[in-house]
Amino acid sequence: MIEALQFEFMQNALFAGFFASLICGVVGSFVVVNRLVFLGGGIAHAAYGGIGIAFYFGVPYILGTLGFSLVAALVMTAVVLKAKNRADTFIGVLWAVGMATGIILLDMTPGYQVNLMSFLFGSILAVPSSDIWWMLALSAVTIFSAGYFYRDMLAISYDDEFARLRGVPVNLLYFFFIGLVAVSIVIIIRVVGLILVIALLTIPPFIAEKYSNSLLMMMALSTVFAMIFNLSGLWLAYTFNLTSGAAIILVATGGFFLSLAGDFLIPRLMPKKKENAL
Amino acid sequence: MQTPVISVEDMNFSYNGRPVLTNVSFTVREKEFLALIGPNGGGKTTLLKLLLGLIKPDSGKIRIYDMPPDKAAHRIGYVPQNIAFNKAFPISVLDVVLMGRLRFHGRSRIQRPDKEAAREVLSELEMLDYQNRRIDDLSGGQRERVFIARALATDPDILFLDEPTASLDNTGRTELYAILKEINKDKTIVVVTHDMMVLSSYISSVACVNKSVHYHGAAELTEEMIEGGYHCPVELIAHGVPHRILKTHEDEP
């Protein structure tokens, strides 16, 4: 592994994994505590429509996917805010429409065809340096926004009604945060693929949530978990010549089931004494 | 005559075309301790949300300190129903209370004085030792105190509580109402509740909420009024009245 680090593709893979972990740790924690995983999946799949648009109309890839996903995300957010109990159905529809549009547009595009596999699993070992800069910029924006609006984000996630009473512009910030989720997903998909995005967005925050007593700690822990999964997945992929995205996901799901097993076993092996009598 | 802190005039509210509250008029005076009672689905929580400005009435007028509710929201401390919260949310007791200081100085950042203020209310409610604990590690009674602390951290003139004792045992209820009685010395309190037994010596007025609102100032609360057909399907105990007057609504099981 150490000798592999001299290759530029390996360095870029590590950088990509690092930034993806950072963004997923912050954004994923927001997604998980707000139960927006389905919405995240919807945005990620709808992004495929953006890829179709980009290829068919010949617009730059990043503009096509970003534009399409942002619009899809904002529409989904509007539905979540307006009709919470019907939101999942609507997101499912947009999810499907996005993917179908993408595939049809690619069918109609003459010449080169994008490989669906590379979209699903990405190619972390083939990340160009220009994408690393995109990710660096996005990480900076994400961390700055999360830091600046931390208290608002916390309040909206925990009790939006109370936040509203305190004069927090709840709807506006909700759009902003979900827009941030959309931008993050699009940029990370390019690097690691949409399945890995959803895995990184959900598994590390899920594990971290149990051991954190603040959203901030959850974000930090998720980032650390995501980095561990990325590094060990990359190592496995390199050593055994496996598909990197899939290897990372399997390591992450391994962590997921280990943490579930821990939840089941730890209280049985070391019973915690009751001290909350009031 | 004191100026009312809350006044509601001919207010109507419907949800999806179904009337929830009709022809509601009542006033609440300074430092009153008003209990909103009534059957489930009678509109108690809806009435609180209308008073908070979270929802708008179809017609009629609501004034809080002679202002529209959304302008006066900062003068009200709100303690929502406990069950509504995401149980697994990773948030510490101190962070919950700090929500009460959001936008306190018009900014989104929390500063050192805000933390001091939050710790002060926590210590008043004897919860300071728990400030770094995760909220879902606490018992129902402790959690209720934290939510009261959050409401008090907003430095309100009125306190609204929605079924604060729902998850508490008898000791917990008595303790909680003792706290509320203390708070009532300088703040107006409106509480939605089912348990009138504990309330007896604390409340100063009762309003029955069941599609309409029947306001009973404690002083005039008599058996005749209840016999007079106010459909209040709950036990009524008046302040200073030694015996319990039990009255059950026909629709109640």
Interface predicted TM-score (ipTM) over 0.85:
no
Distance CA A173, CA B180 (A): 34
Average pLDDT, chain A: 88
With contact defined as beta carbons under 8 Å apart, do A233 and A252 qualify? yes
Strand partners, B128: none
H-helix segments, A166-242: 170-192, 194-211, 215-240
Do the Cβ atoms of A157 and B92 come within 8 Å? no
Q: Pick from B53, B80, B99: which is nearest to A155 by CB?
A: B99
- Spatial CA neighbour of A152 closest among B102, B152, B96, B154: B102
Q: Is B172 exposed, middle or buried (0-12, 13-18, 19+ CB in 10 A)?
A: buried
Q: Per residue in A176-200, pLDDT tens?
A: 999 999 999 988 887 778 888 899 8
Q: Pick from A164, A166, A218: which is nearest to B90 by CB?
A: A218
Query: Does the CB of B150 have a partner CB in chain A at under 8 Å?
Result: yes
- Spatial CA neighbour of A36 closest among A245, A150, A198, A192: A198
Average pLDDT rounded to a whole number, residues A129-140: 87
Residue B229, pLDDT above cutoff 60: no
With contact defined as beta carbons under 8 Å apart, do A24 and A226 qualify? yes
Residue B25, pLDDT above cutoff 80: yes
Q: Pick from B73, B84, B109: which is nearest to A165 by CB?
A: B73
What confidence category does residue B249 fall into, taking pLDDT thresholds of 50, 70 and 90? very low
Residue A255, pLDDT above cutoff 90: yes
Query: Does the CB of B176 have a partner CB in chain A at under 8 Å?
Result: no
Helix (H) or strand (E) holding A22: helix A8-33
pLDDT at position B242 is 41
Distance CA A34, CA B6 (A): 35
pLDDT at position B197 is 55
Q: Per residue in B111-122, pLDDT tens?
A: 888 899 999 999
Q: Which of A31, A84, A150, A151 to mutate to test the interface with B (most CBs of B within 10 A)?
A: A151
Do the Cβ atoms of A214 and B54 come within 8 Å? no
Q: Per residue in A41-51, pLDDT tens?
A: 999 998 889 88
Query: Does the CB of B85 have a partner CB in chain A at under 8 Å?
Result: yes
* Backbone CA torsion sign across B92, B93, B99, B101: negative
Distance CA A97, CA A46 (A): 7
Which tokens is B253 given?
């099981």
